[in-house]
Structures are given as C-alpha cells and as structure tokens.
Structure 1
Amino acid sequence: MKHFLTLLLFLTAAHAKVVEYDLEVAEQSWSPGDGVKSVRALTLNGGIPGPTLRFREGDTARIRVHNRLKGEETSIHWHGLLLPNAQDGVPHVTTPPIQPGTTHTFEFPLRHSGTYWYHSHTGLQEQRGVYGSIVIEPKGGEPVKAARDHVVVLSDWTVENPNEVMRTLMRGSEWYALRKNSMQSLTGAIKARALKDFWERERTRMPAMDISDVAYDAFLANGRRSIQLPGKPGERVRLRFINAAASTYFYLESATGPMTIVAADGPAVRPLPIKRLLVGMAETYDVIVTVPPSGQWEVRATAQDGSGHASVLLGSGDLHPAPEIPRPDLYRMDYMMAGMNEMEEGMEMPGMDHSAMSLRGSGHGAMKHGSAAVENPRPLPPYSKLRAPESTAFAASLPRRTIPLRLTGDMERYAWSFNGKTMAEDAVIKIKRGEVLRLEMVNDTMMHHPIHLHGHFFRVLEGQGKDAPLKHTIDVPPMGRRTIEFEADESGDWLFHCHLLYHMHAGMARVFSYEEQGPDHHPHLGEHAHDPLYIMLDGSLQSHLSEGMLTLMNSRNDYFAMWDVGYGDVDETEYEIDLGWKRYFNPNFSTVLGWRFTNMEDEEDRAFAGIQYRLPYLVWSSAQVDSEGELRLGLAKALQITDRFGVFAGVQYDTGSEWEWSLGADYILNKQFSLITQYHSEYGLGGGFSFRF
C-alpha cells in the first residue's frame, strides 16, 4: 500500500502543470499619479502592485524572485497558501533572505483554490510597494458564475520613508492625527457635544483615540486612486478584493446595491448579501455585483478612519457614486468599543474604569438605542454570518488544547505584544502535530488587530457550529474577543502575527513551532525578534530658558540626556543635565535611574532614582530620591485646546531647592516645530519655538 501511494503521488506530480513566473524586486521613482509626488519606491516587474499570478488548482508554481536592490535583502511570502514550510518565504524563520543581486526559486504544489496575495516579509518593504495578487481557479470552475472576473488590490501609500513613519509612531507624535483631522481637543469635544465623554476618557487614563496610526497621502486600487474596469449592463462581475494595505482597514460599498460575498480568504462561502463590508489588512473577499442598466457605478473602498478612499468604476455614462460612510466618532468611548460586548463578563482593560460606559455597539452590525435597533453605519466584519459550503469540523478523536492570548500594547509608546511580551521577549509557542489548537484572543487595546496565521487555515468560531468558515486572517476589534481553532497538521515553524505592519515590526508576533523538531530546536527568528533602537530629539529654545531631551529608545528602555537651562531673571545661567535610563513597564508606570550634573546654588552633582506614574485625567506624577538624601516630587499635565493649540503646566517640590512651577502654551506649525510661550517661577516669562526630530 505504501509503495502504491508513493507511485500515485509520483504520477500526480509528473502530470501536474508547472506554471512559471519571474518577479524582479527593484528600486525606482514611482507615483500613483493624481498629484502625489514621486518617491523612491520598491517595484515588482516595474510596477505597484506586482503582477497577478494566475494558476489552476493542482498546478505546480515555479516562481523565480530576482533581487535587483543595491545592498538590501528582500523576501516574498505567499500569503494564505498551504505549502511546504521551506517555501513560506519568511526570512530566516522558514526561508533564507534573498540577497542583493541573487535569485531565489520557489516551487510548490497548489493544493487549493481562491484569491490570495504575496508580499515582502523583510523590514517595512511591504509599505514601499512589494506586494501583488494570486488567483487559483478551482478544478471544476467557480461554484458561483460571473461574466467577468477582476482582481482589485487595495493599499495605502505614503511619500514618507516607512522607517521615519515607524520612528514617528514610536515617539508618540500627534502629527498624523492632525493631518487626518482626527486630533482630539477640548473645543472639538464641545462641538461634538461630547464634553462628558472627553473628561471621562481623561479620567480613565486613556489617551486620545484614533482608528488608524498613519496619515496617508493616497489610498489605492491596483496602484491608482481610481480605476475603470470593464462591465456591461446586466453582467455579474466578480471582484476579488485583496487588502494589501500596511495599516488601513477599508469599508467596501457598491453603488449597484448589496454585494454578495462568495469567498473569504480564499475558500468559498455560502453566498451572503451584504451592504457594507469591513476588510482588515491581509484579508481577501470575493464579491459579486451586478452592473445596472445604464451609467457608471462606483464600488468604493473607504479608509476606516475616513481620511480618504479608492474607487473602482464599472460601466460607462453618468457616474453613480457609492454612499458616503460617516467618519468615526472618536470622542464617544461606547462608539469606539463596538467589540466590547463580545468579551466575557469581567474581562477588563488594565487601568480602565468601565463603570460609566454605556456600550451600545454590537459586534454583529447593530446599534441599540433604548428598545429600538438600527443598522450600524460602521459594522464589524460579518464573521458570524459566514458559512462554509460544507462541514469544516475536526475529528472528535483529535486531542484539543486552548491557548489564551491577550492582545496588548501602548499607542503612545508604540509597544505592541501578545500577553504583554514582544516577539523579542517571548517568541515561541510549542505545538504538537495532530492536536487541535483553540486560540482565545482578547483585545486589551483600543486598536483593531488583523491577526494572521501562516501555513494553516483556521475555523472562525462565531456560533456557526460545523459550518464555521475557514480563514487565515481575522480582525479582533477594540476591547473585543475572537475564538479560532486550527489543526496542527504541518511541520516546522510558522509565523503568527498582527498584520498591521508597524505593529508586527514593534513586536506583536509569535512562532508556532512543532515539537517534533526536538527539544533542542530553537527557531531562527532573524529580524522578527529584533528590538531596534530609535533616536529622538525633543526640546525648546526660548528667550528665557531651554529644555529638552535626547533619547535612544526601544520597546522597553529609554537611554536619555535631559537638559534644563535657565538664563532669564538670573545673574548667571543655571543648568541641570540628567543622564539616565528609564525602564517602561506599562502605559502608566516607569522607573528611572541616572546621574545629575548641576550648577544650582547649594547643589552638587548626584545620582538619583525614581518612578513615574500616570494618574487619572492623564496627570503625570514623579518621585525621585538622590544620593544626597534629597527628595523631589512633581506633577505635570498637558491639555489640547484646539487641533493645533495646547496648554501645559508643571509643579515640582525639591527638599533642597523647594518649589518650582511653570505654565505655558504651544501652537503646532508642522511635524518638527511649534511656537511656544512659557512662564517659569525662576526665569520669568518668555517664548520661542519647540522642536521634534
């Protein structure tokens, strides 16, 4: 029997059609057009996105990836495909990185059909343009027929270098919120009639909320803001949507009326009509639309934060635009926490008091106001309504194990993790071949997280029973929960991570490692377990004083040089310069250790140690003790009055120098500079500019 199976596999492989492609990764100047300036981008075969790779189920793919970059590695991951571990394309974890000037040949059988995609897993190259689409036709043809079949690759585009984007996020800058017109302020809360919500958020120590992290210059469909696709009146058109964005969820809605979902993440699902569809990063959906009798009809992909959209146009004639999607209400916490009702009773977000929150958002697309239910204009994904065409249940005889995972992070510091630990701190989850792993994911953050598992499909458990759909990526909403399960039927090491590119880069990842590789096996994690250092410079130069900090930081540590120099209303310039190390534990607590140089009267250089703790209403408190036995206590608070204008205050008591306080205001000019004025109890009133580099 064994020899017969071997012969059968050999004959099947011998008769499989080998479909070959060549992909060239190169750097060149590129723009999506429509006035967006050209920047140095990474292209595939000269374009963004890369070409669509088309196959038929049962084919063998042979793809040669040529790295034409100068001095830069690259990689290609075949997102959603079930393939041999060594072909998965994650540098170091499964596949060697592709060195500059070299070619790597991938070859693997295509075991299943559907819509998938490919992208770089090296650094932030995905944001720079290294992504493209894959279509695998079923052996027997598509179960739901359509007259036309189009691939639509959605993405987000920034003219800023992605490494600078990451550094901006790490420093907690509000610049992107300002650019997107989503900066929260006191006057904004008043205009939105949400002043109570504003102060409640501050009381619960929550920073200002936002839907997405980055301000983008364009949102693209197949590399353009707007594309025209063939479609005649009365035709059924299959649109294969792929969200290849680095950090943008999209709402899909068609002017033609409800779309019909026929596939999700590749596998077919029972046809599901839907008016508005939220698509997370790395998810794919096949939808069917019917072109109406006359006119040009828009299918719109709107960024979840409301900052822009991409358009797909079908037909010709007068334009029929898709409906506008309301921008998010960032001031009302119940609006933001639509997924909270899906959490188990008693599961709380650390540091939050939910007693005053009335949660009216539903994870299944409805809002309740009193006894009436109305449609939610900003629904979550329709996972509970998706049904597989046939049973996906695993054999009852398989052993089962539950793994709880909390999605954790800090938007201000941009530290993202599972169970409070980054990839660099805790990288591996050991699994046994033949067991069924149930992952219970609870999102302790106010961000959506699209979680992706390499090399396996998982069942989405939303009450569908044996008909649970198969997916490879799932959205876990703010303060919400999701449960998935998969059979450990592969071998080797497989990456599991948040597909928001910058979250993964900050550490929100793990490796599922099969135990059969032996007790001494340790996955080669490469760059995915790095904890890179970023340098920041923040300060002010005013007519009466200068203060600021130079920081070298990673996810948990700040190595800093801080200065405080006063030259107004004093006979001689006074200074304090602190060299130290701050250790971050959570969004509300850090410790500090350092050495202080000073020329203050009756003071001398000394060592110090202390803590920083965030109080309700986002008031920062600090306490330090130094080697001379002196104690220093402080309080500080900043408040945004308008989008660009803010005020700040601080008070400090030192048992040596006693009381010191200041009060000031600043006005944001651009990403690097603000105007500032400040009154200081020792140095008087002055003004100048503050800077951020």
Structure 2
Amino acid sequence: MKHFLLLLLFLTAAHARIVEYDLEVAEQSWTPGGKVKAVRALTLNGGIPGPTLRFREGDTARIRVHNRLKGEETSIHWHGLILPNAQDGVPHVTTPPIKPGTTHTFEFPLVHSGTYWYHSHTGLQEQVGIYGSIVIEPKNGEPVRADRDHVVVLSDWTTESPEEVMRTLMRGSDWYALKKGSMQSLIGAAKAGALKEFWERERSRMPAMDVSDVAYDAFLANGKQSITLPGKPGDKVRLRVINAAASTYFYLHSATGPLKIVAADGPAVEPLSVNRLLMGMAETYDVIVTIPPGGQWEVRATAQDGSGHASILLGSGELHSPAEIPRPDNYRMDSHLMAAMDDMDDDDMPGMKMDGDTGMKMDHPKMKMAKAGEPERPLSPYSKLRSRESTAFKASLPRRSMELRLTGDMERYIWSFNGKTMAEDGVIKIKKGEVLRLELINDTMMHHPIHLHGHFFRVLEGQGSRTPLKHTVDVPPMGKRTIEFEANEYGDWLFHCHLLYHMHAGMARVFSYEEQGPDHVPHMGEHAHDPLYFMLDGSLQSHMSEGMLTVMNSRNDFFGSWDVGWGEEDDTEYEIDLGWKRYFNPNFSTVLGWRFTNMEDAENRAFAGVEYRLPYLIGSSLQIDSEGDARIGLSKALQITDRLGVFAGVEYDTNTEWEWTLGADYILTKQFSLITQYHSEHGFGGGFSFRF
C-alpha cells in the first residue's frame, strides 16, 4: 500500500505542468499615441501593459521577474490569486523587494481559475506602467462558451510623474478639476440652476465635490486609446475586462446591447445582463457580447467623471457607438448619492443625515426617486450577482464582526480607516479558522475599491448561500458594504483601498494571523511611511509680496510665511513667521511659531493659536503672543468662474489694530495666476501668483 501511494504521488507530480514566464521591468520613453506626449514609463517586456500570462487550473506558475531599472526597486503582486504568503509580492510585508539588477523567481500552484492581473506594489510604479493580465483556464472548460476570447486591460495615463500628482493632491489644488472641466463656481452654479445647492454646500462647510481625484491625459485599453479586436457578425465574444487604472472607475457599456456578465473577480457567476457596468479599480469582469451584422460595434469604457473614454471595437464597417453616459452633476450632492440608494435598504444608509459632514436628509425627494428606478449612473451590480454554487462557510466556524469606517479628507489628502492612517494604526489581528465579517462604512463622498490580499470574501447583498466571491469591493459614497471571509491562511496580508493615491496616503491595514506568535510584529515597509512634501505658494506684485514655504506630512506643517510691502511706505515693511501647524481635521488646526517684523510699534515675538473653519467656508484664526497681544482674523475665497476667483480678509491685532485686503486672481496654468489686490497697509497693485 505504501508503495502504491508513492507511485500515485509520483504520477500526479509528473502530470502537473510547470508553466514558466520571464518579466523584465525596464524604463523607457513611452506614449499611448495620439496627441499624448512621450514621457518616462516603466514597461514589462517592452510594453504597457505587460504580457498576458496564461495557465490552466492545476498548473504551477514559475515566473522570473528581472529588475533592469537603475537605482530603483520594484515588485510584482499577483492580484486575486490564492497563493503562499511569501509569494504575494508586497515588498517587505510578504516578499523582499526586487533590487536593481537582480531577479526574483516566484513559484506557486494555481488552485483556481479565472481572470486576474498583476502589478507593482512599490511606490507609485503602477501608475507608470507596471501591470498586466493573468488568465487561468478551468480544468473542465468555461461553463459559458464563446466563439472568441479577448483580454482587455483598462488603465489611466498621465504625462505628469505620479510623485507630482501626489504632491498636487496633497496641497489641495483645484487644477485637476479645472483641467477636466469639473471646477465649481458661482457662475457655473447659476447656469446649472443650482445656486441654492451651491450656498447650502458652502454653509455646511463642504468643499466642492468631484467623483475622481486626477485629470488624466488618456484612458487606455491594452495600452491604446482605441483597439480593434477580431470578430465577425454573430460571434459571441468573451471580453475579460480588467480595471488596472490607478484612480479611475469605468462604466462599461456597449453598442451591441446589454453585457452578459459570466464571471466577477475570477469565479464564474450565473449569467447576468446589464446595460452599464461600473468597474472599480482592481476589479475584473468577464462579459459576453454578440456582434450584430452591419458594421463595427464599440464597447466603451467611460471614466466615471465623464472626462474621457477608451474604445474596444468589434467587427468592421460603419461605426456604431453606445449612447453617451451623462456627466455627474457635481453641484447637487444628491446626484452622487442617488445610485447608492438604489441597492441599499434604509438600515444600510449609515451616513445619510443632515449635518455638517453630509448636508443630506434621508427624506429628500430625490433619495426616494433613486429607489424607484434604475439610475443612469448605476453602482456595481453586486446585489444581482449569484455564484454558480454555494459559497457558504461551515456553520461550526467561530464568527466575529468588525466595523471599519472609510475616512478621509480630500483637501488635506489624508485617507484612512477609522480615522487613522496605516502609519498611525496599521495592524488588525485575526485568528486562523474564524470567519470575520467586516462592515465597511464609507464616511466620505468618494467611491473606494477595497481589496484584500490572499483571500476571497463574500459580498453580502441578500443572495444567501449563492453570495458571490470577490477580492475587491466598491464602497459607494456615504454607503455601506458587508463582506466576510474565512481566515484560512497564515502570515500577514495587506488590506487597502485600490485607488493608488489613497493607499499611498494611508488607507491600508495588515491582517496579521495570531498564530505567528504574540511577539510577531508585521513588517509594513513603505506602506506605513508618512513622507514629507515641499510646497511653495506666493505672489509677487507691484506693491507687495506674500506667501508660504511649507514642509508637510499628513498632519503637520512646518512653515515659513512672509508678508512684505513696498507700496505706500517709505521703507519696506515685513512680517515673517516661522512655525508649526498641527492639523486635526478640515475645520480645526493649531499653530505655534515665532514672528519677525519691522512694523511700527511691533517687535519680534512668539505666538500660539487656533484656526477654525466657519460655515460658508470662512476661515477664522485666533492668536495670542508672548507680548500679551491678541490677533483675530477672518478670510474667504470664492470662485466666480472656472478661472476667476475673488478673496478677502480682515484682521484685528490689539497692538497694530486693523488690517484688511481684497483681491482677485485668474488662473493661467497649474503654476501661475494673474493677481490684483488692495491691501490696507501696502496699497493697490498687481502681478502674478505662483505655486510650486
């Protein structure tokens, strides 16, 4: 018997295929074509995206990753695959980073089928090209057959470096909103018939809304803005669609008619037809379309913010395009929330109340309308997805629930769970064998695609035992998702928002198995860093100059500010502050510093104070200095058109008394604006302002 078992084991091993690939990470100048200029990119085997890695369920993957970069580490994470912890590819957390000039060999069994992908988990490399697709064919063939099978990798592309994108987001710049046509203004609100909503938003201290963070230069399918795939009339075409974008949700829609979903995040599901499919970053869907006769038919991936699209063309002849998806109405907050109402019960609406954070009432008439019919801009179809077989966990397994609130601040660009970044609170302990249920409650006005490494989870939307398995779930604005997974692995596994810049800003955790011992501390690597950013903002005018140089991280500003006038005075007057500001939330900060001045009846002094944001986004400040004087100030800025804004400020100091200013600026470029300003101490003048 012993010899028979050994022979059986040998024969099984002999029939297991080892499928090998080599991936070379290199730097080169690259463009997706069209009018998009060539910039530095990171390629895989010379291209973007990298090659499709094809396997059969039961194979063993052996993949050698060669780092040809100069002075830069890299990594590859195998997104959605169940594999040994050391093969997951997250630098330091599970796998050593791949040093320049070295090769790392990954080897792991492929225990399930489906459409997946791979990407870098080092810094912001994913944005500049390190991503590709994985297809694992089922042992017994696809349950829903098609005549043709194509992989479509969606992505977003910017000609800025991702580091500059991150710095722009950290400074709270409105440039990206202006660039993609979603800047909010007083005139824009009037034209949209939304002046009431505009002032209600300002009164509730909410900044202008948008559905995405970055203005992109192109949206891509397989590295191009438009691709043509082979097919003839009558063909059923399986499109394995992967959203590999850094920060773009896509609506997938087709001129051929409804999309038939047959797989979601890898596992097959019962076929489901939808007219429009919202795909969060890192999600994958297999959809089947049938090519009609008489022309070329477009399947379009439209960016959720309406700023562009990528095209997948099937067939040949006269072009047939799908109907345009309406752009979001950013002036009316309820338009961002209506879709969320469509697939949630009243008990699942945690943030829908009128307060300073949301400004929305549950009995708003448009909230009721949203539940009456299908929105034009639907959410992900989780409530309609059904697994092809039971995914229920054994009833005997212990169960535990945990609430995770998705928290963040677009102005400061801090993103977190339960109000803390990964650097502040990075580890969640779990026990092997338990079922962990997570209540993901989104306290922000943005979508978040949440991904768990190394596990599938059930998305609980009322399907009972046929609940679908996924590795990434979209949590809509002010909405909630409930997921659960069995802790059946070992080691440390990353859990994070897959919007790249949100993860980089702190929206991540590590699930750490307790079986590693009470003294085990996960190595979180760069994901727990809180990097510093340098900012320079100011103006140079005919009568004065003012500005600030800041070194900042998520919650601290170390700054030097100046106010220098040479207009109405015989001598140049100046006031220079050096200090530290501690940021607590969008409405409250504290400040401590030292003031240098040559103003009349004033002298150098230390000061401490608070800054508080009032309704209508009016800034207020109160300072007490070491000479016993107090200073109180109010300030307000208002955008009149997309490019024209006005600002005003008034200040009373018990030593130097009243000072006030009134001005306007006109945005020229990301770095420069024209400015004109009257200052009570320095007079009237103009010049330009700058932002670096």
Name the TM-score, length of structure 1 as normaliser: 0.97
Aligned equivalents of 1:449 and 1:595: distance in 2?
41
Q: How does 1:49-64 map to 2 (within 5 A)?
A: 49-64=49-64
> How far 1:603 sits from its partner (Å)?
1.1
CA contact (8 A) 2:437 2:482 kept: yes
Aligned position for 2:630: 631
Verify: 1:600 aligned to 2:599, yes or no: yes
Relative to structure 1, the CA distance from residue 316 to residue 347 in structure 2 (aligned partners, 3 Å threshold; closer, same or farther) is closer
Aligned position for 1:674: 673
Could you tell me which amino acid in structure 2 is paired with residue 549 of structure 1? M
Aligned equivalents of 1:636 and 1:66: distance in 2?
54
CA contact (8 A) 1:339 1:481 kept: no
CA contact (8 A) 1:113 1:136 kept: yes
Verify: 1:40 aligned to 2:40, yes or no: yes
Give the SS at the match of 1:32. Answer: coil
Could you tell me which amino acid in structure 2 is paired with residue 458 of structure 1? F
Q: How does 1:284-433 map to 2 (within 5 A)?
A: 284-338=284-338, 341=341, 342=344, 344=348, 347=351, 351-352=356-357, 354=359, 359=364, 368=369, 373-433=372-432
Give the SS at the match of 2:54. Answer: strand
Could you tell me which amino acid in structure 1 is paired with residue 369 of structure 2? K
Could you tell me which amino acid in structure 1 is paired with residue 295 of structure 2? G
Give the SS at the match of 2:372. Answer: strand
CA contact (8 A) 2:350 2:479 kept: no
> How far 1:373 sits from its partner (Å)?
3.3
Give the SS at the match of 2:187. Answer: helix
Give the SS at the match of 1:165. Answer: helix
> How far 1:376 sits from its partner (Å)?
1.0
Relative to structure 1, the CA distance from residue 228 to residue 411 in structure 2 (aligned partners, 3 Å threshold; closer, same or farther) is same
Aligned position for 1:515: 514
CA contact (8 A) 2:348 2:479 kept: no
Aligned equivalents of 2:111 and 2:382: distance in 1?
24
Aligned equivalents of 1:557 and 1:493: distance in 2?
30
Could you tell me which amino acid in structure 2 is paired with residue 578 of structure 1? D
Relative to structure 1, the CA distance from residue 395 to residue 361 in structure 2 (aligned partners, 3 Å threshold; closer, same or farther) is farther
Q: How does 1:472-551 map to 2 (within 5 A)?
A: 472-551=471-550
Q: Cα deviations across residues 469-513 of structure 1 (Å, max 9, x unaligned)?
A: 000000001111110000000000000000000000001000000
Could you tell me which amino acid in structure 1 is paired with residue 326 of structure 2? P
Q: Cα deviations across residues 37-63 of structure 1 (Å, max 9, x unaligned)?
A: 111100000000000000000000000
> How far 1:338 sits from its partner (Å)?
3.0
Relative to structure 1, the CA distance from residue 368 to residue 316 in structure 2 (aligned partners, 3 Å threshold; closer, same or farther) is same
Aligned equivalents of 1:22 and 1:506: distance in 2?
32
Q: Cα deviations across residues 259-284 of structure 1 (Å, max 9, x unaligned)?
A: 10000000000000000000000000
Could you tell me which amino acid in structure 2 is paired with residue 368 of structure 1? M
Relative to structure 1, the CA distance from residue 529 to residue 8 in structure 2 (aligned partners, 3 Å threshold; closer, same or farther) is farther
Could you tell me which amino acid in structure 1 is paired with residue 113 of structure 2? S
Aligned equivalents of 1:40 and 1:522: distance in 2?
37
Could you tell me which amino acid in structure 2 is paired with residue 476 of structure 1? V
Aligned equivalents of 1:359 and 1:87: distance in 2?
50
> How far 1:3 sits from its partner (Å)?
11
CA contact (8 A) 2:221 2:227 kept: yes
Relative to structure 1, the CA distance from residue 597 to residue 522 in structure 2 (aligned partners, 3 Å threshold; closer, same or farther) is same
CA contact (8 A) 1:334 1:357 kept: no
Q: How does 1:158-197 map to 2 (within 5 A)?
A: 158-197=158-197
Give the SS at the match of 2:188. Answer: helix
Q: How does 1:598-677 map to 2 (within 5 A)?
A: 598-677=597-676
Give the SS at the match of 1:368. Answer: helix
> How far 1:685 sits from its partner (Å)?
1.0
Q: How does 1:275-290 map to 2 (within 5 A)?
A: 275-290=275-290
CA contact (8 A) 2:113 2:136 kept: yes
Give the SS at the match of 1:336. Answer: helix
Aligned position for 1:97: 97
CA contact (8 A) 1:339 1:480 kept: no
Aligned position for 1:262: 262
Q: Cα deviations across residues 404-432 of structure 1 (Å, max 9, x unaligned)?
A: 00111110111100001001001000000
CA contact (8 A) 2:201 2:359 kept: no
Q: Cα deviations across residues 522-568 of structure 1 (Å, max 9, x unaligned)?
A: 11111111100000000011111111000000101000001111111
Q: How does 1:77-96 map to 2 (within 5 A)?
A: 77-96=77-96
Aligned position for 1:555: 554
Relative to structure 1, the CA distance from residue 662 to residue 148 in structure 2 (aligned partners, 3 Å threshold; closer, same or farther) is same
Aligned equivalents of 1:156 and 1:557: distance in 2?
31
CA contact (8 A) 1:340 1:359 kept: no
Relative to structure 1, the CA distance from residue 5 to residue 541 in structure 2 (aligned partners, 3 Å threshold; closer, same or farther) is farther
Aligned equivalents of 2:357 and 2:8: distance in 1?
60
Aligned equivalents of 1:139 and 1:506: distance in 2?
41
> How far 1:677 sits from its partner (Å)?
0.6
> How far 1:374 sits from its partner (Å)?
3.9
Q: Which moved more, 1:14-23 or 1:254-263?
A: 14-23
CA contact (8 A) 1:338 1:478 kept: no
CA contact (8 A) 1:545 1:565 kept: yes
Relative to structure 1, the CA distance from residue 18 to residue 588 in structure 2 (aligned partners, 3 Å threshold; closer, same or farther) is same
Aligned position for 1:242: 242
Aligned equivalents of 1:138 and 1:448: distance in 2?
32
> How far 1:666 sits from its partner (Å)?
0.3
Aligned equivalents of 1:290 and 1:340: distance in 2?
30
Aligned equivalents of 1:569 and 1:334: distance in 2?
50
Aligned position for 2:569: 570
CA contact (8 A) 1:578 1:597 kept: yes
Q: Identical aligned pairs, as a percentage?
A: 81
Q: How many residues end up aligned between the 2 structures?
A: 687
CA contact (8 A) 1:243 1:279 kept: yes
Q: Cα deviations across residues 602-652 of structure 1 (Å, max 9, x unaligned)?
A: 111111111111111111111111111111111111000000000001111
Aligned equivalents of 2:255 and 2:643: distance in 1?
37
Aligned position for 1:199: 199
Relative to structure 1, the CA distance from residue 431 to residue 4 in structure 2 (aligned partners, 3 Å threshold; closer, same or farther) is farther
Aligned position for 1:148: 148
Q: Cα deviations across residues 408-463 of structure 1 (Å, max 9, x unaligned)?
A: 11101111000010010010000000000001011111111000000000000011
Give the SS at the match of 2:338. Answer: coil
> How far 1:674 sits from its partner (Å)?
0.3
Aligned equivalents of 1:608 and 1:25: distance in 2?
52
> How far 1:11 sits from its partner (Å)?
5.3
Give the SS at the match of 1:150. Answer: strand
Aligned equivalents of 1:424 and 1:62: distance in 2?
34
Relative to structure 1, the CA distance from residue 646 to residue 312 in structure 2 (aligned partners, 3 Å threshold; closer, same or farther) is same
> How far 1:346 sits from its partner (Å)?
5.8
> How far 1:656 sits from its partner (Å)?
0.7
Root-mean-square deviation (CA, aligned residues, Å) is 1.7
Q: How does 1:20-39 map to 2 (within 5 A)?
A: 20-39=20-39
Could you tell me which amino acid in structure 1 is paired with residue 112 of structure 2? H
> How far 1:245 sits from its partner (Å)?
0.2
CA contact (8 A) 1:339 1:479 kept: no
CA contact (8 A) 1:154 1:245 kept: yes
Aligned equivalents of 1:608 and 1:9: distance in 2?
77
Give the SS at the match of 2:369. Answer: strand
Aligned equivalents of 1:5 and 1:351: distance in 2?
69
CA contact (8 A) 1:339 1:478 kept: no
CA contact (8 A) 1:400 1:435 kept: yes
Aligned position for 2:441: 442
Q: Cα deviations across residues 335-376 of structure 1 (Å, max 9, x unaligned)?
A: 0123654464664687326355765677xxxx717xx93431
Give the SS at the match of 2:545. Answer: strand
